[in-house]
Amino acid sequence: MNPAELAQRAPSETLLERITRSMPTMRKSERKVGEVVLAAPGRAMNFTMAECAEAAGVSEPTVMRFCSSIGCDGFQDFRIQLAQTMALGLPVTHSAITADDTAGDLAEKIFNHTISSLDRARRNLDQDSVERAIQALLAAESVLFVGFGASGIIAQDAQQKFPLFGVPCDAPADFHQQFIAASVSGPRTVTFAISNTGHTAETLTVAREAKSAGSTVIALVGSDSPLADLADIALKAVTFEDTDIYTPSTSRLAGLVVIDILATGVAMRRGPEHQEKIRRMKSRLATMRHEVPGAPARRVGEAGEGE
């Protein structure tokens, strides 16, 4: 990563969030500008300074002052930052799903929401915790992934990545199985507990059991919570709350990305011969799962389809 890219590492807030937060402390006419921008960010993006002043009913220097007060270095910079925020798309908090949305609107809104949500996770993920989690996983002789519901899906996905982790991974779906596995774990096992709320009773029970058995506990949560407190290492994947039934739960997605990061990080540090094994496995899997286009379909019971 070169210095230029490093320098523009994203702040933990998006521009629209920053404007919303600054609104109360703004002067009256600056706030007018803020309202115009928040009301139609897509339109504001194409504004020239004069147009913006016109739309808000203020003078140009006021627009300038508005830019400064939200931490932008001039109007140009404001436009750039707004464009960046808009590139991700508005989360449903800013652009709600309505009954008369077409399929296209719906698709766009949900993609926008998801991408914004992942952007939020990206801005807020603690690098130090990631590093520590990778180290812990590198030291482990086996990993136990636990989670229920949507978090269970993440656990399943993580388990599927065991070749990258390089050690046996387990992810039982059943609560009792999870508890048993946690009970018989020890210092050489990492227990990876996943719960977006961080309050899920069953997950907490398993995590406590694992900890008392001497296992290192990594928690993947959405916010500060009992599970995060309990864990040796807490990974916080911050997303948007799912306030409405129409709000898709984006926490799963962020969780999966964090798993990707850890799996890649671990594989990277296991050295070249480990990577070679994975590469070989991948290419053989690729040939196995690709039916040659145009070839006759294989039927049940034929060779090579073993479950």
Partner DNA sequence: GTCAAATGGTAGTGTTGCTACAAAGCTTGG
Partner DNA sequence: CCAAGCTTTGTAGCAACACTACCATTTGAC
Region binding DNA by CB under 7 A among candidate stretches 21-29, 128-136, 190-198, 217-225: 21-29
Q: Is 43 in the site for DNA (CB under 7 A)?
A: no
Stretch that binds DNA, among 12-20, 28-36, 270-278, 290-298 (CB under 7 A): 28-36
Q: Which residue has the tokens 């997950």?
A: 203
Q: Which option in DNA, a second copy, none does residue 199 bind, with CB closer than 5 to 8 A by kind?
A: a second copy
Q: Which residues pair with 219 in a beta bridge?
A: 193, 234
Q: Which does 60 bind (CB under 5 to 8 A by kind): a second copy, DNA, none?
A: DNA
Kindly state the helix (H) or strand (E) to which residue 216 belongs, with its residue range.
Answer: strand 216-221
175 binds, options a second copy, DNA, none, Cβ within 5 to 8 A by partner type? a second copy
With a CB cutoff of 8 Å and minimum separation 6, the contacts of 61 are: none
Pairing of the two strands 216-221 and 189-195? parallel
Contact between 248 and a second copy (CB under 8 A)? yes
The one-character DSSP state at 184 is: T
- 157 scored as a contact of a second copy (CB under 8 A): yes
* Residues 210-236 as b or e (16 or more Cβ within 10 Å = b): bbebebbbbbbbbbebbbbebbebbbb
At its nearest, how many Å lie between DNA and the CB of residue 260?
A: 38
How many CB atoms are located within 10 Å of the residue 238 CB?
18
Q: Which of 30, 119, 170, 209 binds DNA (CB under 7 A)?
A: 30
Q: Give 11 or 57: the residue with its C-beta nearer to DNA.
A: 57
Determine which residue in the list 33, 62, 66, 85 makes contact with a second copy, applying CB under 8 A: 85
Q: How many helices (H) and strands (E) does the chain have?
A: 16, 5
Q: Which does 65 bind (CB under 5 to 8 A by kind): a second copy, DNA, none?
A: DNA
The residue within the footprint of a second copy, chosen from 24, 25, 28, 174 (CB under 8 A), is 174
Q: Restricting to residues 63-82, name those near DNA by CB under 7 A.
A: 64-65, 67, 73-77
d(CA 298, CA 288): 13
State which of positions 188-247 bind DNA (CB under 7 A).
Answer: none
Return the number of other C-beta atoms located less than 10 Å from residue 132's C-beta: 16
Interacting residues toward DNA by CB under 7 A = 27-30, 48-50, 58-62, 64-65, 67, 73-77
